[in-house]
Amino acid sequence: MLAQVVGAQVQLLATLLATIADLDQAIGNRLGKHPKVGLLARLPRVGQLSHAQLLAELGPILDRASSAEHAAAQAGAAPVTRASGKTSSVHFRLAANHRARQALHVFADNARHSSPWSAKLYADARARGKRHPQAVRVLGRAWLRVIWACWHTNTAYDPAKHRAEQHLAA
């Protein structure tokens, strides 16, 4: 009986692995057909899945947005300021595209591990007392400005031309 259960689990695992491989191939095929695929291909630690998520979830926002700040608000990377009388407070933005927020934050969190500029922005936010999710949102907002500029100038991201990145490397 135990041998049958183990055999069934092994067969299930093999089926799942084959399905994952098929999905990876389908994502790669669709990703290559996107008209702006080359713009974000050189972002730090942007793998195939993260690249596809950025294009699929942020692309429509970037097409509609009139500025990087507008795109950041729609993607949930910008906070909301509430003011009444003499008081004001800053809050997490709930009204946002949740899938775009997730795609941006996964990319930003990964980017900080290989980009000195990203690592510094993250470390500075943590030093100011931000928790990890808040620091990743700060970093995501900064990366969104870079992505927005690439998108609207139709210029591929090049780490050698990213002035802030080069400033830290010097």
Same domain as 43, residue 6: no
Q: What is the pLDDT of residue 66?
A: 93
Instruction: Count how many domains the chain has.
Output: 2
Nearest to 76 by CA among 124, 128, 123, 144: 144
Same domain as 25, residue 77: no
Q: What is the pLDDT of residue 169?
A: 59
Q: What is the largest CA-CA distance in the chain?
A: 72
pLDDT digits (tens, 9 = 90+) for 20-77: 999 989 988 888 888 899 999 999 999 888 999 999 999 999 999 999 999 999 999 9
Same domain as 154, residue 104: yes
Same domain as 138, residue 83: yes
Same domain as 26, residue 94: no
Is the pLDDT at 170 greater than 70? The verdict is: no
CB atoms within 10 A of CB 129: 8
pLDDT digits (tens, 9 = 90+) for 110-145: 999 999 999 999 999 999 999 999 999 999 999 999
Contact (Cβ atoms closer than 8 angstroms) between residue 137 and residue 72 = no
Same domain as 92, residue 14: no
Same domain as 86, residue 17: no
Q: Domain limits at 127?
A: 38-169
Same domain as 159, residue 83: yes
Same domain as 47, residue 27: no
Same domain as 42, residue 8: no
**pTM score > 0.85 for this model?**
no
pLDDT digits (tens, 9 = 90+) for 1-22: 889 999 999 999 999 999 999 9
Q: What is the pLDDT of residue 70?
A: 94
Q: How deeply is 61 buried, as exposed, middle or buried, from its count of CB atoms within 10 A (0-12, 13-18, 19+)? A: buried
Q: What is the pLDDT of residue 147?
A: 95
Same domain as 142, residue 102: yes
